[in-house]
Each structure stands twice: as structure tokens, then as C-alpha cells.
Structure 1
């Protein structure tokens, strides 16, 4: 049975995208953190939002991130960690970023596919991973 709300992680070598996503309401919280803070941040978010399921991208550093998350406990139980395909999620995240933050000035004349977001979009990737898990795609 799927949870109503999950934590999604886009793991990376230096930074990770995190998102708490409700199945019907969408993203509740999203952020980008340093990878060395992953376990502590996941522990905090799992406790704060009463989460037991984590979906994690199956790409870069996924195995080491999954290994690190095995130490996180909720009510004495390990979190359920489920890998999700990351194929082309970064491209999709860039599109989502520009939808949420439309380019201004002369940049609005360029196709957004030619623009690079000024901030990391790993948190948008995490939202996309959650949506893939929930079957919205």
C-alpha cells in the first residue's frame, strides 16, 4: 500500500535534492542540501512529517545514499527505501524550474531549453521522482 506522503531524494556527490510530497496535494517541502547532511536531514524530516517511506533516484551515488539511509529509524523501524528511475529527470526539472520562475528581461526571448537555471534543480528532481513513484507520469 502506498503512503499518502513520502520523502524523495535525488542523491549526488556534493548535493542532494529533497522533497516531502503528498500524493494528492503535491510538494509540501523541497530543498537542496549538502550530501554530508543527508542522514541528519532525512531523520529530521521523517520525524517532523511522520514519514516511513523514502524514494531515491537510482543514478549517481544512489547505492551509498541508500546505505547511509539504512541507519535512519522511525519508531524503532528502518525507513522503507525504494529506488526510482531517474532517466531524464534533470531535463524535466529544468523545465519545471522555468515554469515556476519565468525568465525576465532579455532572457524571456530565449527558449528555456537554452537557459541554465541560476540555482541547482535537484529539489525539483526529487519532486519528479516522487511523482513517478505515485504513478503520475
Structure 2
């Protein structure tokens, strides 16, 4: 059965986007953390939100993060780790950022596709990965690595 709430991670070398997303209710929490505190953060969030499934982007830095997460126990159980395709998720995250934070002043005259957000958008990528997980056919969303 597909989980209703997942912890989603956009892994990176220095920072990770983190989001808790409910299938029907949307974003419950999102932030950007240092990669060095990924394990502690995952345990804390998974315990607080009673999460057993972690969705993780399948990009270049995902292998090390997945290996780290497989070692964690939350409430005495291993986490289900589900890799999700993160192709072009950063582009999508930038568009979502600008939709949530439209530029003002003279910058509103420049197309947002030509602007770079003033902050990292890794948390938006984590949300997008969770949404991609929920959009997967049920049989594909049940596979774990």
C-alpha cells in the first residue's frame, strides 16, 4: 500500500532539501539542511511525523545518502527507501519558487525563466520528488532499494 505521508529528500554534497508531504493535504514541512546532519534530521522528522517511507532523488549524490539512510532505525524499524527520478526537477523547482515568490519592482519585467532565485530551491525539489512518487503507479511506488 502506498504511504499517505512521506519524507522526501533531494540529496546534495553540501546541502539537502527536505520535505514532509501528505498525498492529499500537500506540504506539511520543508527546509534545507546541511548534508552532515542528514541522519539526525531524518530520524527526528520520521519520528515526529510517524513516517516509514523516504523518497529520495536518484541523482549523482543519491547513492551515498541511500546507503546512510538504509542504516537508520526509526521506532525500531528500517525505513523504506524509494528512489525517484529527479530529471529536470531543479528547473521545475525554480518555476515553483517564482510562482510562490513573484519578483517585484523592475525585476517583474524580466521573465522569471531568465532569473535565478535568490535562495536555494532544494526544498522545492524535495516537494516535487514527493509529488512524483505519489503520481507513480502503485506497483512502481512499492519497490524499495
**Shift in Å, 1:41:** 0.4
Count of residues in correspondence between the two structures: 136
Q: CA deviation at 1:6?
A: 0.3
* 1:40 match: 40
SS in 2 for 1:13: coil
Structure 1: segments with no counterpart, 5+ residues: none
| Secondary structure in structure 1 of the residue aligned to 2:123 | helix
Take 2:60 and 2:22, find their aligned partners in 1: how far apart are those partners? 25
The residue aligned with 1:8 is 8
Alignment of 1:79-118 (within 5 A): 79-118=79-118
Shift in Å, 1:76: 1.1
CA distance in 2, matches of 1:36, 1:27: 24
**Aligned partner of residue 3 in structure 1, secondary structure:** coil
| Alpha-carbon RMSD | 0.9
| Alignment check: 8 A CA contact 1:53 1:79 kept | yes
Report the secondary structure of 2:28's partner residue. Answer: strand
Task: Return the TM-score normalized by structure 2.
Answer: 0.92
Q: Measure the CA separation in 1 of the matches of 2:60 and 2:128.
A: 16
- Contact 1:9–1:19 (Cα < 8 Å) also in 2: yes
Partner deviation per Cα, 1:54-104 (whole Å, 9 max, x = no partner): 000000210000011112212211100000000100000000000000101
The gaps in structure 2 that reach 5 residues or longer are: 137-145
How many Å separate the matches in 2 of 1:39 and 1:74? Answer: 11
Within 5 Å, which residues of 2 pair with 1:65-84?
Answer: 65-84=65-84
Provide TM-score, normalisation by structure 1: 0.97
